[in-house]
Structure formats: structure tokens, C-alpha cells
Amino acid sequence: MFFPAIFFVLLGCVASWLTIYYAVRIGMGASQGNYSQHHHTHSGIIPRIGGLGIVIGFTLTYLLCFFFFGELDNRSLMHYSIFGGGVLAFLLGFIDDIKPLGAKVKLLAQIIIALLAHHAGLQVQTISLPFVDATFNLGVLSIFVTIGWVVALMNLINLIDGLDGLAGGVGLMLMCLLAYLAFQGGAAFSLILTLGMCGAILGFLFHNYPPAKVYMGDSGAYLIGYVIASISLLNSEKGTVLAALIAPMLALALPICDVAFAIIRRGLKGLPLFRPDRGHIHHRLVASGLSRQRTVMVLYAVSLLALVAGFLAFTAQGRYLAILLGVVFVFILLVLRRQKLSPQTLGRICSESFEARQDTKNALQLRDWLALEAMRADSGEHLWSDFRFVLKKIGFCRAELCIGQVERAFYIPNTAHDQPELLWQESHQINSQTELTLYAEKDHFSQRQFSIISDVAGEAWARAAAQWRCSNDCELTFEAKAKAPISYREQKTRNLYRPTY
């Protein structure tokens, strides 16, 4: 058994590594600079083609299953759906990496993929409680639970893909856990696929570990998430949610907690729940002074502990689940205490956040307006004029924007723009060539409120720069000129454009 296992791991690893290596050499994905991602921790253009290597390793492993198994063992609708759904998940993410899709479009596509998996037999039909001998039949609710499980796993992996090596490492640990569960349950098909995926992710990590040469992109994240979700359902005993589902949930404790706190954080601030930010655990660790490599290693250690917890949940049939949950609760209390978060402090934070919601909503609308103006602007200088208008409306009294060696600045007369002790100040590195510094009077904003709208303002310029690059095929600078319109409609739109001075 040892040598066949090594063979499948090596197959996935070599196929993934070679695919990514040659894709980078021929320049594939070199134009995938998603400059609208203001909250990414990297600078410059890094191709998001890691998912291509992972899907090639996954495909080769799946095809070999036809040689190792007979027709009754391998050629079932559920087995086809694991591969087919994985490919669909990859294609959805790959399209989004090339040309970003809206959140609603991606969610609808994910739901359709999950429905197809449910129709093929990958279902959560019953729920078995780990502490009592009781099983509940879900009936029609099975569809909603299955959809929730598949969609959640696809997005969880994607949401933690904010630091070199993090999502790939967590995905690799989960695949190792699923491989062990498949081995214990005698599920040879699941075992081979998970071993192949272990190798494919490992091959990708050779290119992705800090400093990353490629990213997995949405294509790799969605593929890994779908395979985890579908293999978990296949491993479960006759559709019953036992350790086969509990173990992966415990192993995903880190991203689940991170996403839960992110949703609460954004909700309190009045921001869209799925808007990226720099408040994730890995962002905070990097901001505290840890290098990216050390941050990844710390999060690997936490994920490994969660993985051990999932392993114990499986081997002990849930008997230690209460103890594990108790340890997690104590850990959360210690973290809150270290952050000096008292009920009074939390109350004040919530109160400030609710008061700032209208200002945040106004800033988000102005951000979207500027991105639309970038499609019509005839020069970088005129777009800067529009951006000054946005900053004034949001409430900033002074700003400095530096692109390369060229800087533009403005201030509002009759304000405390020249009195540093009366101002909040924050700088944003939009990309390797662009830095934005913003100032606002302390009398008008709390520090927390200023930080929120300052971040939105930085994102506004990042999105406008991305839209300019998409519309004009050139980088946005103050001297940049829009390309000549190629249709009457574009000419009419350009004629109607008037910069805001």
C-alpha cells in the first residue's frame, strides 16, 4: 500500500509542478494583474495560474482510477460528479481570474454546481448526533444543507487565500486528513483522489511558498474546496454526517473563525459582508511585525492542531468533542483578554460603528462612481480632478497622491490641514508605484471611523486605476491619455465627460 500511495502523490506533484513551471515560462497569466484588489499583501503582477497545475494533477489521478478499478467500483454517477463538479468549479474560478465576475454571479454558479452534486447522490441525508444514539432524517432540507456545505467549503478556501502558501498549506492538511479517513473506511476511490490532490497541491506550493511566484487564484481555491466537500460526503456513511464531516469542520476551525469575525467586523462597519479587507488573522500577524514566512508557519501550526482535533473526533467517535470545544472557548476568551476587549469597550466600538454606517455608505457609493468615471475620463489628470471631488465629499481636508516620481496634492482652505496635531493621517500603498496619503480633522471623525473611510478611499483609486487600465490598455499616470474612441457610442460618452474641478 505504501508504494502505490507514493506513486499517486508523486504523479499529482510532478504534473502540477511541471504545468505551472511551463505556464510561467511561456508567459501565461502575465497580464492577470488584478489591480482592483487593494487589500492584497503583494505588489506587482503575479500570475494566478496555480489552479491550472492543481486541476491537471487532479485529472491525471482521476483518469488512472479507470485502470485500477472495475466498472462497478469506479463508474458511478457520484464518482463522475466529483470530477465533473471539480472541473466546473475550476472553470468558474478560472473565468473569474481572467475577467472578474460579480459576487452574485459566482454565488449562483456555485449553487448550481452544488445542486448537480446533490442530484448525483452526494447528499447530506441524515444527521447523527455524536453524544447520543439519535439520527435525524433531513428530508427536503437535505438539498439546502448540501448546498450550504459545498458552497461554504468552496468559499472558505478562497477567503483564506490572502498570504503566500496559506490556502495551499491548509488545503494540503485537509487532503491528508481525508486520505486517512478514506483509508480507515476502505474507500479506495476517495483515497486515490485525495492522494493525487495532496501531490497536486504540494507541486503548487513549490511555486507558491513565500515569496510566491504564482497564486492559485479562484480556480484553485474553488477546486480544492469542492473536492474537500464532495470527498467528505462520499466518505460519510450512507449520507450520515458522522466523523467524515465533523473532522473536516474541526480541521477548518481557523478559516471558519476568521470568516465569522470578518462578517461581524464588516457588518458593524457598514461594509459589504464579502468585501475584502486587511483585518484577517494573517494580515494582523504581518502587521504585528512577523515576516510572511513566520506568519505562514504560525498559521500552519494552528491548522495542524485543529487537524489533530479533527483526527481525534474521528477516532473517538465524537467522545472528545465537548472537551475540544471547551478548549476552543477558553482560547477565544484568552485572545479577547489579551486584546483588552471588555464589554464596555465592545459596546463603544459597536456604537461608533453604527454611527459611522451612513458615512461608510456614502464613501462606498462615491467609490463606485469614480470607477465609472474612469471609463469616460480622457486623461489621468482629469481623473485626479474627479478623485479630489470624491475625497472632499467623503470629508478629507488634505490628500497627497504620488505615482512614481510625480506627486499631486490638494487641501481645503479654512480647515486644520496644516496642523498635524489636529489631524488623523493614514497612508495607503496602492501598488508598487502609487502611494496615497489622506488627512481628516479629528473633530469630524473618530480614529476608527477615519480608518474605515480612508481604506474605502484607497480602494476607490485602486478600482479606478484598474478600470482605466482595462479601458485604455495602459497604466494610469497623471500624464496618461485615454485611447481614441472606436465607436460612436464611445465618442458620445467621451464628449459628455466633464472633469470635476
Say what the pLDDT of residue 87 is. Answer: 92
State in Å, rounded, how far the first CA of the chain is from the last one: 73
The ranges of the chain with pLDDT < 50 are 33-36, 238-240
Say what the pLDDT of residue 240 is. Answer: 45
Say what the pLDDT of residue 34 is. Answer: 44
Q: What count of Cα atoms within 13 Å lies in the side-chain half-sphere of residue 241?
A: 19
Q: What count of Cα atoms within 13 Å lies in the side-chain half-sphere of residue 400?
A: 13
pTM of the model: 0.73
Say what the pLDDT of residue 36 is. Answer: 45
CA distance 273 to 485: 37
For 79-164, list the strands marked E by DSSP.
126-128, 135-137
**How big is the CA angle at 383 (ends 377 and 389), to the nearest 5 degrees?**
125
Say what the pLDDT of residue 92 is. Answer: 92
Q: In what order do the strands lie in the sheet with 135-137?
A: 135-137, 126-128, 240-241
Cell of 444: 469630524
| Among the listed residues 439, 272, 274, 438, the one whose alpha carbon sits nearest the alpha carbon of residue 361 | 272
CA distance 291 to 289: 6
Question: Alpha helices of 236-356 — where are they, by DSSP H?
Answer: 243-251, 253-269, 281-287, 292-315, 321-338, 343-355
- Residues ≥6 apart with Cβ < 8 Å to 365: none
CATH architecture of 357-496: 2-Layer Sandwich (3.30)
Say what the pLDDT of residue 317 is. Answer: 55
Domain boundary assignment for the chain: 2-336, 357-496
69: left (phi over 0), alpha (psi -120 to 50) or beta: beta
CA distance 123 to 233: 7
CA distance 458 to 382: 18
